[in-house]
Chain A
């Protein structure tokens, strides 16, 4: 029966799994719309409702954009957590495993789709921001660097969400990932300067990942030197990414033992 034996090339598995995840994203328009519109709505709320009360000595529209982009990453990640959780709860994971698709390829497909969704939601947020008066003071090289820093953060958060989706048993619980991660965005310099936070929160706010990522994006978008924030941002994102990939591989192995 040798003529019926087939082999899957590993290089082909990831594109196939990514295509699947993207198709599934497009087929659940409500989740997609939420992921696209929620950050835009939050930005409008921050700029027009809270913005007037925040005196930071510069345009709040310019100040808040990096924070909104972080919220985009977090909202997008909750979709990843939910879809990973759904995969594990349904029979599809058995079919994929019996087709010898590695668990990492299934998860990487979801993460890649998350990156694509995030590029779309980021573009939408930036377009609306420009529409309401955001003006970056930057150059193409800095903008490209900002996009790179953001995408690394998105990938880290998406892998973390994938691990979360593996760790919980119900999609509803997986959805909670978003709120957990949002907490980090709100307790950082994303929406208000750290010095305005209560004293007991400042230490945490300065030393958690959302602050250096925000500050790096802010510097790159306003044409200022990113300095030590850039290194901290890359270290945090890279570290979260590495730990999350390892953790999700362990969790996948445990779930399928």
Chain B
């Protein structure tokens, strides 16, 4: 597939019951890459994924996945993609084996091939022993792994993962990350959504930041970090009253607010001139700030600066 575009979307608009969820989304995803759609709850991530995976229809705009229109050629798209949603798409009353065999049969494999494929995937995801047990007995991490396994049954060329690690313990999260990285090395295009910047940073070749139905930034993790500011100036106040005053003066530029530690963080390029100016502006009377520190910006800072949210 090389670097051909595998996902292209233009001007996707979607409303639910009169509430605008997406207001014009454009996307370009290259074949064989990992693309992360990053945003807070309610940003429109799931809606975007559902439109691209043919499960939902955009009110306006067009999208092509694996070369086919997601509305007109949705059957062709469905044969080339898989979707793993936020809630495990499994029958809790069936065993792991039965779930995978059913999925494989629906993907068109004959009975014996379906059995073989199910065994293969259980092995690959470390679920061989749990295979004959009903899914209702599985832990959250095991369900997620089985869900991911089920989405790989038909050898899709594009995989959509909607918040694949939300609610998982650290160990299961690492296991999921390994599985995603492994998919990428095999040439599968992965489109994932996440609210975790670390996850996007770790896995994705490119990241798009979505907020309130709009794309606020797009690029590699490094580009995004550069776009906002390389450093963060943390101002620590002696009292709550001082903290409140400093937060008010800094206003919307605060990328970090920690009332417990009485610390306000603002973006800076780290130059002495700018740090001096910021200190002067936040504390003209020179009695509101007890100490300060300049540190490298994290993706969290980038995210908050771009979405204009404040962090508590």
CB < 8 Å neighbour of B93 from A6, A23, A256: A23
Residues of A within 8 Å of B89, CB to CB, are 90-95
CB < 8 Å neighbour of A99 from B87, B154, B155: B154
A100 to B87, CA, bound (A): 19
Residues of B within 8 Å of A256, CB to CB, are 55-56
CB < 8 Å neighbour of B90 from A92, A97, A99: A92
Residues of A within 8 Å of B151, CB to CB, are 95
A96 to B106, CA, bound (A): 8
Q: Are B57 and A257 closer than 8 Å at their CB atoms?
A: yes
Closest residue of chain B to A25, judged by CB? B93
Could you mark each residue 98-142 of chain A with 1 if its beta carbon is under 8 Å from any beta carbon of chain B, else 0?
Answer: 111100000000000000000000000000000000000000000
Could you mark each residue 234-255 of chain A with 1 if its beta carbon is under 8 Å from any beta carbon of chain B, else 0?
Answer: 0000000000000000000000
Residues of B within 8 Å of A24, CB to CB, are 91, 93-94
Q: Are A20 and B91 closer than 8 Å at their CB atoms?
A: yes
Which of B97-105, B208-216, B243-251, B266-274 lies on the face that meets chain A?
A: B97-105
User: Given A24-B91, A24-B93, A28-B93: A98 and B82 within 8 A (CB)?
Assistant: yes
User: Given A7-B79, A24-B94: A101 and B106 within 8 A (CB)?
Assistant: yes
Residues of B within 8 Å of A19, CB to CB, are 102
For residue B133, CB closer than 8 A to chain A, the reply is no
For residue B175, CB closer than 8 A to chain A, the reply is no
Q: Are A99 and B98 closer than 8 Å at their CB atoms?
A: no
A109 to B154, CA, bound (A): 22
A16 to B88, CA, bound (A): 20
User: Given A27-B134, A92-B91: A6 and B83 within 8 A (CB)?
Assistant: no
For residue B222, CB closer than 8 A to chain A, the reply is no
Residues of A within 8 Å of B96, CB to CB, are none
Chain B interface extent, by class:
35 or more
Q: Are A94 and B94 closer than 8 Å at their CB atoms?
A: no
Closest residue of chain B to A8, judged by CB? B108
For residue A49, CB closer than 8 A to chain B, the reply is no
For residue B174, CB closer than 8 A to chain A, the reply is no
For residue B290, CB closer than 8 A to chain A, the reply is no
Q: Are A23 and B94 closer than 8 Å at their CB atoms?
A: yes
Q: Are A94 and B85 closer than 8 Å at their CB atoms?
A: yes
Chain A interface residue count, Cβ-Cβ cutoff 8 angstroms: 30
Residues of B within 8 Å of A101, CB to CB, are 106
For residue B38, CB closer than 8 A to chain A, the reply is no
A5 to B107, CA, bound (A): 9
A98 to B107, CA, bound (A): 10
Residues of B22-61 at the interface with A, using a CB-CB cut-off of 8 Å, are: 50, 53-57
A5 to B87, CA, bound (A): 26
A91 to B106, CA, bound (A): 16
Residues of B within 8 Å of A55, CB to CB, are none
For residue B1, CB closer than 8 A to chain A, the reply is yes
CB < 8 Å neighbour of B103 from A5, A9, A12, A95: A95
For residue A4, CB closer than 8 A to chain B, the reply is yes
Closest residue of chain A to B105, judged by CB? A16
Residues of A within 8 Å of B79, CB to CB, are 5-7, 100
| CB of A254 to closest CB in B, whole Å | 12
Q: Given A6-B154, A98-B81, list of 13 further CB < 8 A pairs?
A: A1-B1, A1-B80, A4-B157, A6-B109, A20-B91, A20-B102, A90-B87, A90-B89, A91-B86, A95-B90, A98-B55, A100-B79, A256-B55
Chain A interface (Cβ < 8 Å from any Cβ of B): 1, 4-9, 12-13, 16, 19-20, 23-24, 27-28, 90-101, 256-257
What are 22 A-B interface contacts by the 8 Å CB criterion?
A6-B79, A6-B109, A6-B154, A6-B155, A7-B79, A13-B106, A20-B91, A20-B94, A23-B98, A90-B87, A90-B89, A91-B89, A92-B91, A94-B55, A94-B89, A95-B90, A97-B78, A98-B53, A98-B83, A99-B103, A100-B78, A100-B79
